[in-house]
Structure 1
Amino acid sequence: MRQPGRQTRRPERRIPQSAAELAKVHERALAEAAARSANRDPSAPDEPPFLQARPEIGDSWERLRRLGLDPDAGADAVHLGPAEIEHRRRASGLDPLLPILRGTLVEQVDQPPLILAITDADGHILWQEGERGLRRSAERIGFLTGARWVEERVGTNGIAAALRAQRPMHVHSAEHYLRSHHSWTCVAAPVRDPGTGLLIGAINLSGPAHSVRPYLLQLTATAAKLAETELRARRLESLHHLRTLAAPMLARVNGPALVVDAAGWTAAAAGLPPPARLRLPAEGWGSAAVHWLPSLGECVIEPLADGWLVRPVRPQDTAPAVPGPDPDAAGPGGGRVAEQAEGARLRLDLRRAASPGLSVRGAAGSWSHALSPRHAELLLLLATERDGLSAAQLADALFGDPARTVTVRAELSRLRRYLGGLLAHRPYRFADSVLVTVAGPEDPYDLLPASSAPAVRRLRAGLVGGTARLPGTPPLPGPRPPADGTVAPRPRSDPLPLPPQ
């Protein structure tokens, strides 16, 4: 009910009615932004921008235009068979969560008709529930169990956006790339395995665009957190079971040892302070008898049921390093990790959007593990700017806000716990003796697609335009050098403009 004396209608941005109009909006906005960056006086006030899509939506349109996806037809549908659907349902680990999600999302009497869809990490719809008439309407656009709901096939959509951005996302009406989807709104949130941190699927709610409710995005995000909480409880129960089996075994082992589960979480330890989790190799243990781990040094690894027995070869290396006065000094095992810096080769693997990884080969040994999205962003920025960046510069590059230095310093402190001497500071940078390479995806728009950091978005654009390249990759054909004789930046420099320290 309207209340006298109060504004009853908030100003709204007009949403164009077709994908073609939205594409024109995005192209014009990019062109005007590029012109302002090249010609505007830095002291002049910002001009009001032309109507444009949200960054995540605009990036998706640009990628799909480059792929040549038809906004009227999409691409050939990909559907799983019944046997493959059942296999993926079991492998996802989400099957036991259905009663919780159903009760939270589709059995509420006061909400409009919606379709609940649960997908795996590849975007395959494994379960779908909702009002029958609405589901029949969804089937006409290919939204049904077994379909693969990814951008390359069906354009910009909530499921694909949430899986790529790895955070809750909504795509409303004409924000969809395909015209046939403009009458729909979808909200989705990713679900991660609490044990590994890896993406395992997404929860999606879809309904008619005219009946969208502002609370649906928060409801979906809450359901995803509820699912992760249930998965975490199951993992703790499994860890407790492994601890029960490990106790008598550790009592018979000579010297320090610990038992970890398949994800590296410590179940039990004897003779050394137990780390909460070991960084296990992303590619597996291989055939070597001895492996080097960042927090323990050289270790003998033996398989157990649902886990591993880890025995350090050099017990003295397991003692925590004495912390120095610098809060950024290396943590436990930092002295051992420092040996990696001399002649070390560090490879940042960003080829797979959902699983960025890091591998290091040095004098003390070799190791690798998966990276969190934030750590992948930080290491990418430091790899493209070998001269180093201050905390304020990194905060501006990540968040567009130089004042968010506390967050940056906290994340870098976590990185230095296992990178140790590989990372220097004041400014933050890789050590000079470390050879850094970055393996990127074939399509620059797949470079950390979960990231909306201003510097990462500019780097993607530079890779597309041929004005930037990743460390360790050959130069790409791109625009000719400026006619004024300006010297192109050297390979180790960041091609992105950053504020002074």
Structure 2
Amino acid sequence: MPIGAAVPSPWSERREVSPETSRLLIERAHEELVAGNAADHRLGDVRVLVRDSWRRSLESLVAAEALPPLDLTADELEAYRQGHPLAAVIDMVRGLLLPGDASESGVAVAVGDAAGRLLWVEGDRHVRRLTGAMGFVEGANWSEDAVGTAAPGTALALDRSVQIHGAEHFNRLVQPWSCTAAPVHDPETRRLLGVIDVTGGAQAVTPQAQLLVDATARAIEGELLVARLKERALRQAQGPGHSGQGPGRTTRRPTARRPEPTRATLRVLGRDRALLEVAGDGAETVSELGARHAELLLMLAVHRQGLSADRLGELVYGEAAAESSAVTLRAEMVRLRRTLAGAAPALVPESRPYRLGVELETDAHQVLSLLDRGAHRVALAAYRGDVLPDSVAPGVEEFRDTVRTALREALMAEASIDVLLAFADTDAGSGDAELLRLCLSMLPARSPRRTGLVTRIEKLEADS
């Protein structure tokens, strides 16, 4: 290849793959199985690998249109993948599977851990936007137990590379896509480390695609082994007094097990009495908070850098009433501390400024994180309603508007028509004439849903 020439993408040659049976036969077999007809003769038209995976999916009570759970928040994801063994080879994955202009490769490439959680998702921007709507995003769980038959989870379940063609997916939301995946093992112990997946159209399930993904998995294992051998050689050269962590550092004896860190979530979407969920050191508690305590705790969660007493008073009571409510605020904070001391001691606010000593996640922040990752359908499903809808605290009203606006703008800019239609049926979207017009413009000319949209738009215009 001439120096300076563009690197060709391995996915640019689009070869059609003929499935072992037609898409229609597979879809009919899937419908019969989901309907409870496990003995239907049509299942004989489905590959054994797929049929067995469908049955495992049913045994795991996977819904036929289930969205994958988001197991890792943005902060958890960043911390977890930095320490994951596959972090050291992510550049190799990019170089082998996404050479050249990855943003126009036609496929999405994902790297997941041994539990099926996606740690990196990169590749074609358009494909990532569309697959993100069904929850194919970093931090989501794509194991068979979570979403049913799909290449990442099925490859981990069988401990071998697999290809899943469109209609073979158990989850109907995933059936427009095809994928190839291969597991990655520890090169010495053969313990599962994770999985490499390529998702796209027909080009993602060619025989060449499977060879390439398999070769990438083997190359990763080889690179991990070489790095490990080099590390051992360096330690041996440094002598027994070194730990391999740098000059002058010696190994330490193991310490006693530390308590599991507290993980706390405040649920405020569609609720006036927020729920505080706290998990840590093997225990989990759920507490319902009063309206004022919910407002105070939410403001501390939103303003993680801390708030002065004056500013917190303005956010909760309003600027005009903040000064006269200073005594009331102090009394409420005393009561909130007392409540948290029993339910979640790690969350008891510190003073000067008021702030939380540990991170408090909210379900509203989770929606914003999902939107940032392009998981529009999952974000909409997680949006249970407005933030503390009956609260008139200025800070809550501002945050409520921020979340609702972010959801609306993200969906209108990038979401697919079916997600937009689902949003139009929510309280947040039902009275939005601009949203309804966008849906109308995206629907096919003969869609039966157009009539209903036109009627709703006309009614909104008449009432305005």
TM-score, normalization: structure 2?
Answer: 0.44
- The structure carrying a bigger strand percent of its residues is 1
User: TM (normalized to structure 1)?
Assistant: 0.41
Kindly indicate which of the two structures has a greater share of residues assigned to helix: 2
